[in-house]
Structure 1
Amino acid sequence: MPDTRRALLDALADGPVPGPELADRLGVSRAAVWKQVEALREDGLGIESTDDGYRVTDVSEFGGAAIAYGLDAPFEIEYHDSIGSTNERVRELADEGREDVAVVANEQTAGRGRLDRGWTGPSGGVYCSLLLRPDVPLAHSPVYTLAAAVAVARAAREAGVDARIKWPNDVLVLDDESERGGQKLCGILTEMEGEADRVKWLIVGIGINANVEPEDLPEGATSLLAERGEPVDRRIFTQRLLETFDELRSDPDSILDAWREHAATLGQRVRVETPGGEVVGKTVDVEFPGALIVETDDGERERVTAGDCEHLRPV
């Protein structure tokens, strides 16, 4: 979304604004303002011209302009009704030198999960990849996965769904029936490129089953629609996700406490398949930048930084 259009959306969010005033505030001609207003109308935003100026009368349920309108976070929004992979698109933007871009899609046809597992995201989801350039060491990158999980969990709870976080990268709705202890609502994949032991760019890919019909979900998964019994406003949900993530990344010291508050894994007996072998025991904490602390059956404490975690039923 061009900078002028985003600035126009921010101005319109404050209420009716006359065309000449908009032109002055944006530093463009009145003709340019009219052109951008028409583009926003084509993108699904209802804008009418009144005696007091341009005024937003209707916001489409989902789309780039709808998400950007009233968004209190500095992300540029690029929206696709359908895309192969939002992460792959963000990689292209990273190569162009961009930052603070959120690529959002309604449907994803060629996504990738951990260990290069392929998956598709049915229509009705919120598939969002964030392009960041944090000035941090490479070793700190896992904390952004935790921040994304917290942002999803909080947005889901605001929508009336009690979502919990399963280490390292899943958000669940808990139940007593499934083997993993809950139905998967969201998966997160973080990718990065480094330069001299600093992060050059970081991609946080977030795939949420929002308004996905139950019959379109894979086994072991759920959606906000299935849990609520009615669709969620994906525009509001996505805005809250982006705003919460932005708040957390600006205060990294707050992320671990926020993660603990929403964690399903802490206190659980788990089996973690790590590159160095299997770790079995009870989880007792998480440490910066995202390591899981497991107390094994022989009383030792293992610090697990990566692996597939399975929640085990109590002995």
Structure 2
Amino acid sequence: MNETRRSILEAIADGPVPGPELAESNGVSRAAVWKHVEELREAGFEVESGPRGYELVGVAEYNGPAIEYGLEAPFSIEYHESIGSTNDRARELATDGETDVVVLAGEQTGGRGRLEREWSSPAGGVWASVVYRPDVPPARAPLFTFAAAVATANAAREAGVDARIKWPNDVVVPVDDEGGYEKLAGILTEMEAETDRVEWLVVGIGVNADIDAETLPAGATSIREQAGAFDRRVFVQRLLEQFHAQRDLEGVIDDWRDLALTLGQRVRLELPEDVLEGDAVDVTATGALVVETADGLEEISAGDCEHLRPTESGR
């Protein structure tokens, strides 16, 4: 957001401010102040003008400027009403040298999940991809997926949803006491790296937010279905702020454990060349799932995880 426009917004959010005072404090003309106010109105900010000056009375829109306003994290927002894939656009920005940019869309027409699976991304969801350049070795890069899952789950919990995490990258809502769940969100992380460092990361986050659950695939749910009305703009801000707070990765695994639904469950893991069944007992410092099998402990770095009900596992 333009810095003068941001300054004007911050000033008028606390009450009416006369145009001449805004002009003087920002070093611009009164005509420039009027122009900035009109552009703010066009962006969806509800600005009233009266005898005592301009006053911000509301933020009605879900777009880049509205989300940047009040965002307590150093991200710029590139917003699209509709896009094929936010991850694809974020990769373009990353290869052009950008960082700390969030590509956000009202809907995706070509969203994808892990293993190139199609991801339903209708209007009303939160479809975001963060371009980031962390100073970490490639071996630690997967932890940003865990950080994104923690941030998403916590933001959903603030919105009133009993959000938990299923290893490795799904945010889910429990439906019973036996490990059953409905999917709320997914994370897809892509990167470019050299031997000793990460060049860039793109962390894609897809959340079924303000969506009628009846329009979602079987086994999915939404924030609206779980908690009723909520402010999608504030939800995105809190998600990004919490993700930024995890940027040093300190404590992310402990935070993940606190929210994990998978730990303690009987699980089946589909691996590239095998299927493994056992009890999920922990995750390692790098995010591998520790599974107790009939042959002992196994550490699984990647795979599809399914929670087994007692009747499925034979227990």
Normalising by the residue count of structure 2, what TM-score does the alignment of the two structures yield?
A: 0.90
Question: Of residues 304, 308, 312 in structure 1, which corresponds to 2:304?
Answer: 308
Written as runs of structure 1 = structure 2, the 5 A alignment for 1:83-162 is 83-162=83-162
Report the counterpart of residue 199 of structure 2 in structure 1.
200
| CA root-mean-square deviation | 2.4
Aligned residues: 311
8 Å contact 1:6–1:68 — kept in the other structure? no
8 Å contact 1:61–1:233 — kept in the other structure? no
Normalising by the residue count of structure 1, what TM-score does the alignment of the two structures yield?
A: 0.90
Classify 1:309/1:37 alpha carbon distance in 2 versus 1 (closer, same or farther; 3 Å).
same
Classify 1:301/1:6 alpha carbon distance in 2 versus 1 (closer, same or farther; 3 Å).
farther
For the residues of structure 2 that align with 1:135 and 1:21, how far apart are their CA atoms? Answer: 43
Shift of 1:39: 1.9
Q: String of CA shifts for 1:12-38, please: whole Å, max 9, x gaps.
A: 556555556655666666554443332
Percent of aligned pairs with the same amino acid: 61
For the residues of structure 2 that align with 1:28 and 1:192, how far apart are their CA atoms? Answer: 43
8 Å contact 2:83–2:105 — kept in the other structure? yes
Shift of 1:66: 2.1
Shift of 1:95: 2.5
Shift of 1:278: 2.3
1:269 aligns with 2:280: no
For the residues of structure 2 that align with 1:192 and 1:11, how far apart are their CA atoms? Answer: 40
Q: String of CA shifts for 1:224-255, please: whole Å, max 9, x gaps.
A: 11112x33210111111111111111x41121
For the residues of structure 1 that align with 2:194 and 2:51, how far apart are their CA atoms? Answer: 54
Between structure 1 and structure 2, the one with the greater Rg is: 2
8 Å contact 1:194–1:201 — kept in the other structure? yes
1:259 aligns with 2:256: yes
For the residues of structure 1 that align with 2:272 and 2:37, how far apart are their CA atoms? Answer: 54
Answer with 39-48 or 132-141: which moved more. 39-48
Report the counterpart of residue 37 of structure 1 in structure 2.
37
Report the counterpart of residue 241 of structure 2 in structure 1.
243
8 Å contact 1:61–1:234 — kept in the other structure? no
1:297 aligns with 2:297: no
Provide runs of 4+ in structure 1 moved above 6 Å.
Answer: none
Shift of 1:119: 2.4
Q: 1:309 is aligned with what amino acid?
A: C
For the residues of structure 2 that align with 1:271 and 1:237, how far apart are their CA atoms? Answer: 33
Q: Which runs of no fewer than 5 residues in structure 1 stay unpaired?
A: none
Classify 1:120/1:46 alpha carbon distance in 2 versus 1 (closer, same or farther; 3 Å).
same
8 Å contact 1:209–1:222 — kept in the other structure? yes
Shift of 1:53: 4.8
Classify 1:252/1:52 alpha carbon distance in 2 versus 1 (closer, same or farther; 3 Å).
farther
For the residues of structure 2 that align with 1:268 and 1:188, how far apart are their CA atoms? Answer: 21
Q: Which runs of no fewer than 5 residues in structure 2 stay unpaired?
A: none
